[in-house]
Structure 1
Amino acid sequence: MEHANYRNTISESINLIDAHYQRFSFQRHYHLDFHIGLITQGEQKFQHKGSTHHVQQGHVVIMQPDELHDGHSVLASGYQTKVFSLNPQWLSSLANESNSHNMVSFRQPVLSDPVIFRQLYQLHQLLAGQNLSQLAKDCLPLEGFERLFKHYGQTQAPTIHNLGTQSTEILKEFIWHNIDLPIRLEQLASLCDLTPTQFQRHFKATMGMSPYAWLSRLRLEYAMKLLREGHSATQVAYQVGFYDQAHFTKAFKINFGITPKQASL
């Protein structure tokens, strides 16, 4: 049976997911945050950067922001996972105090490291609990992620992808400011000083998906954030540019495996 429990923590930069996926398959998508997942039972396969990865109990899966991937269970019984959803700026500052402009990245998407798995599993359990002080919850992430940074992480200047005369970050800012409005291909192309045909071709080559699919995912990622903050599903649908509640619910469930109402619990 499918199950996904999204939990907030005291820190706005850390969210936790406990999930059991059986028949549900993730289509190609990306996240705005880092997703660090622990496979606690079963087996999963996913495509990432042209390679197929087969992970099982004890593996750590690291998905960095904006990286396309999919995912499905290998076994009929499904797989269980505990996931950290982490704000990229916060995680980078945690890993690299000397240069706040650099971003953390990891050299591989799958780790087989029992020590790190155990540390992160314990951290997930502790942050999900109710009996820790604020100071403990402030300190625990640094302790929990320290070995991960030391052995597998690196910091570097952010990668800039250009589309015509603009970067993808400028494009993303434009969409954030207009996310509740109908956005036309001509608008995006004009912003980058490209024709619509040029823009669509360059965008897909750079981002790995069509502008429409990328925008839809961006809206749903933002919807998840708003739902976790306590906004109602009806409010969120309109805030992110869906003008039909049924369409929003269907798109949300296809992408996350749960309904908007379940995400807000």
Structure 2
Amino acid sequence: MSIHPTAVIDPKANLDSSVEVGPYSVIGPNVNIGAGSKIGPHVVIDGHTTIGRDNKLFQFSSIGGAPQDKKYAGEPTRLEIGDRNVIREFCTFNLGTTQDGGVTTVGNDNWIMAYVHLAHDCHVGSNTIFANNAQLAGHVHIGDWVILGGFTNIHQFCRVGSHAMTGMGTTLTQDVPPFVMLSGNPAAAHGINAEGLKRRGFSREQIAAIRQAYKLIYKSGLTLEEAKSALDTEQAALAASEAMHMQAMRSFLDTTTRGIVR
């Protein structure tokens, strides 16, 4: 284990023998860190926090701090971070609360830039990119492959579907269906993330089906209930590999509790 002599690590902390810890970092007693992870200088990791393999945490991040929630009374809630994440300077990830599931989670292979805040009970998928100063309030859910532009602000309890993308300075107060691009304050939809889907291997037919679903939801003039019916009809005529992505958008409409940006 490569531990700088100025680092302060509680004897009860569980660090794999291959973990590196930089100068002046502080690691609390209930922290577990997996093989190959590198903790930079001046990082604080506290709370019941589990960090997986091959993560890289840059200087001045605060990971596993108490929730910024007045109801929090020191309960042993958790933060769980997966594998191969890059967490840049000055990020703050908070523990969960007992008012929700008691855990904040981050998946695998995420690229999280400087000054990003993940509040209590947030759930972040895998392969996401959060640009500088993206800010998530409590209970926010982010799907896989989401890209958040710099200074994106997301209201508590909002959900952002997989493969969605926000522009710089976007403010979200409602849910975002999968595949949708949006920007502004208040946010407005601006088509689908077609370029991102191409890069991830989506076929021309799959992208066409997603684009058609977007048009039915956003461009047809239909009410949301009418758009749902139209999506059901469209799906029936598609091959399974194309219908599944239209169904992802259709299902999202049934599960939203805050309504969608529309």
Asked if Structure 1 and Structure 2 have the same fold, meaning a TM-score greater than 0.5 normalized by the shorter chain, the answer is no
Bigger RCO (CA 8 Å, 6+ sep): 1
Structure number with higher helix proportion: 1
Output the TM-score relative to the length of structure 1. 0.24
Give 1 or 2 for the bigger CA radius of gyration: 2
